[in-house]
Structure 1
Amino acid sequence: MIDPLTEVVTLLQPQAKFSKVVSAAGPWRVRRSGSGQLFYCVILDGSCRLEVDGNEQIHLHQGDFVLIPSAYSFTMSSLEPPASEELDMPPVPLANGEFRHGAQDVPPDVQLLVGHCSFGSPDAALLVSLLPQLVHVRGEKRLAILVQLVGEESRAARPARDVILARLLEVLLIEALRSVEGTDAAPGLLRGLADERLAVAIRRIHENMTKPWTVAQLAKEAALSRSAFFERFSRALGVAPMEYLLAWRMALAKNLLRRQEAGISEVAERVGYGSASAFSVAFTRHVGLPPARYAREQSELQRPQRASSSVF
């Protein structure tokens, strides 16, 4: 049985970019406007405050874990933030390898492990849109352990480092996302999976992508009327059922083409199209490029990228 949440994370292809230990003391503030990369943070000791655009501010305490799948703008600060805007200064590297915000010559009030990663999927924007904007988990030691392992592995130069990191990040994302109370989540996959009726239909889509699904057939799987299913699905996931199905077919097709695992005809069959021509028409309309050209361009784009150190 295919688990939709696992499939989302697997298709995202998370790649570790950077992680580091940060401490802070006294009044301090950090504002960051990122490029949309995933940001994660675990509070190792102490407390601080987090504000993410579009969300209420939250106080973070020891053991808390925060995940922002697409971090564009957020602020972290001491519980009593400084009044002066000038205190938003770059961190100072310490002799022990940490980076310090605020006062330098006193014991820290808070210590964090922060990091970010990028996604290898060309459909990352679509997949991330199905996830919550902010995940805050309290009291989950498993997450803290996983983040620590990611940090240790990212700084080491051991054999199979990239393979281990990829698997750790997948487990980290799944563990964090399934810790969210689905019924309270924003519209997206987690909220849909929290609805017992919708979850059945969503899993049927992922288990049998080749079936020529209709709204009526999916409604029957969910034991709902066609109109009730359509409205409930659209409200919970933020997209209509057929739009969700098409998006997933195209996401899978892009992944297969990018990895050059199959020819056009086989890709068409594996994502639910009866012929290569029908698939090519749908793919070109959705993506803006014919499948063969898309595969060539993606192959040319796959180049190693340098890691960034400006995470926090």
Structure 2
Amino acid sequence: MVDPLAEVVSLLRPRAPFSKVVVASAPWAVRRTEMGRPFYFVVLEGSCQLTVDSAAQSDTITLNAGDFALIPAARSFATSSLDRLPPRAGEAVTTPITAIPGGARVGDPEGAVDVRMLVGNCVLGSPDAALLVPLLPHWVHVRGEPRLSTLVQLLADETRTDRPARDIVMARLLEVLLIEALRSTASTAASPGLVRGLSDPKLALALRLMHAKPAASWSVVQLAREAAMSRSAFFARFSRAVGVTPMDYLQAWRMAIAKQLLRQRDVAISEIAERIGYSSVSAFGVAFTRHVGIPPGRYAKGELNET
């Protein structure tokens, strides 16, 4: 059986070349607005709060030493010390920030350090990132994972030294840490998305079937039967855990496969349509255009300028 998370992560091609060390002294708070880029936090020492904003709500998470947090498409979030309420969106934040070698000092420059973090942006090498990132949770928080804790300790050690090739080693460790966090489904706290869906054995079976046989004429009834659930219970549980309906997820995955094949330019559109479950080129073309924004033929010629 295929591994859906491994397939998505492989297509995303994540890298973590940008990082900086942040040390802070309570009380402190920082609010940031990003352009939908992935943002991560590795807590090396101490504790703090992370608040992730979404259209529906704001989630506040306590991060402790050894924890890893990832926002796959960060737009608005805040970090703060434990002794104050996280700043709300639009609230003015006046905590002083001072540049230090390799990072920033937040709060009173003379105060006791209460948290030390490695933070930064990830880079997704796939031009399909905008299509694939919605399959991931809004945020991921991993704690108590021995393998991940080992990686955090190695990163912490690298930040304190000036060994040869330090930046290369840190970038590679961060890439492994990112993948390890995404696959730690059993012990990962996450908002709705693929990670949470895979942590549910019945939903995981349905997700693996969709990835293994994208061309099959799946229906909610068939997937519910495979998961040994009623149609209504399966639909509600899948939508709640993954954040989209089963058919919306299936279409997103089919379109990701189609885009990958179209970029190869050596597979006929008719064959691509057949591989992902469309009975005709015209039906595939309508679905692809609606989902991606241009017809498959134009996409194959590289006419879409993706970010």
Aligned length: 295
CA distance in 2 between counterparts of 1:130 and 1:81 reads: 33
Deviation (angstroms), 1:207: 0.7
Deviation (angstroms), 1:231: 3.8
Alignment partner of 2:96 out of 82, 89, 100 = 89
Secondary structure of the corresponding residue to residue 259 of structure 2: helix
Relative to structure 1, the CA distance from residue 156 to residue 207 in structure 2 (aligned partners, 3 Å threshold; closer, same or farther) is farther
Deviation (angstroms), 1:261: 5.7
Q: Which residue of 2 aligns with 1:280?
A: 285
Q: Is the 8 A contact 2:72 2:136 kept in 1?
A: yes
Task: State the one-letter code of the partner of 1:61.
Answer: N
Relative to structure 1, the CA distance from residue 233 to residue 24 in structure 2 (aligned partners, 3 Å threshold; closer, same or farther) is closer
Q: Is the 8 A contact 1:182 1:193 kept in 2?
A: no
Relative to structure 1, the CA distance from residue 150 to residue 118 in structure 2 (aligned partners, 3 Å threshold; closer, same or farther) is farther
Q: Which residue of 2 aligns with 1:23?
A: 23
Q: Which residue of 1 aligns with 2:180?
A: 175
Relative to structure 1, the CA distance from residue 294 to residue 146 in structure 2 (aligned partners, 3 Å threshold; closer, same or farther) is farther
Secondary structure of the corresponding residue to residue 253 of structure 1: helix
Match status 1:293 vs 2:298: yes
Deviation (angstroms), 1:257: 2.1
Deviation (angstroms), 1:64: 1.8
Match status 1:244 vs 2:249: yes
Q: Percent identity?
A: 56
User: Cα deviations across residues 258-308 of structure 1 (Å, max 9, x unaligned)?
Assistant: 35463423322332234434422332233231112112235x7479xxxxx
Deviation (angstroms), 1:19: 0.6
Secondary structure of the corresponding residue to residue 38 of structure 1: strand
Relative to structure 1, the CA distance from residue 16 to residue 223 in structure 2 (aligned partners, 3 Å threshold; closer, same or farther) is same
Q: Is the 8 A contact 1:20 1:98 kept in 2?
A: yes
Q: Which residue of 1 aligns with 2:137?
A: 132
Task: State the one-letter code of the partner of 1:18.
Answer: F
Relative to structure 1, the CA distance from residue 208 to residue 157 in structure 2 (aligned partners, 3 Å threshold; closer, same or farther) is farther
Relative to structure 1, the CA distance from residue 241 to residue 90 in structure 2 (aligned partners, 3 Å threshold; closer, same or farther) is same
Deviation (angstroms), 1:184: 6.8
Q: Is the 8 A contact 1:5 1:174 kept in 2?
A: no
User: Cα deviations across residues 231-270 of structure 1 (Å, max 9, x unaligned)?
Assistant: 4433433333222222211121112223546342332233
Task: State the one-letter code of the partner of 2:25.
Answer: A
Q: Is the 8 A contact 1:219 1:225 kept in 2?
A: yes
How does 1:11-50 map onto structure 2 within 5 Å? 11-50=11-50
CA distance in 1 between counterparts of 2:237 and 2:47 reads: 39
Secondary structure of the corresponding residue to residue 216 of structure 1: helix
Q: Is the 8 A contact 1:31 1:88 kept in 2?
A: no
Q: Is the 8 A contact 2:43 2:64 kept in 1?
A: yes
How does 1:73-222 map onto structure 2 within 5 Å? 73-81=76-84, 87-94=94-101, 97-105=102-110, 108-146=113-151, 169=175, 171-180=176-185, 185-222=190-227
User: Cα deviations across residues 122-178 of structure 1 (Å, max 9, x unaligned)?
Assistant: 44344333332222222334324446778979x9997xx69x968963x43342134
CA distance in 1 between counterparts of 2:78 and 2:266 reads: 42
Q: Which runs of 5+ in 2 are unaligned?
A: none
Q: Is the 8 A contact 2:97 2:107 kept in 1?
A: no
CA distance in 1 between counterparts of 2:114 and 2:81 reads: 8
Q: Which runs of 5+ in 1 are unaligned?
A: 304-312
CA distance in 2 between counterparts of 1:57 and 1:241 reads: 28
Q: Which residue of 2 aligns with 1:10?
A: 10
Deviation (angstroms), 1:2: 1.1
CA distance in 2 between counterparts of 1:59 and 1:236 reads: 22
CA distance in 1 between counterparts of 2:193 and 2:46 reads: 33
Cα root mean square deviation, aligned: 3.7
CA distance in 2 between counterparts of 1:235 and 1:98 reads: 39
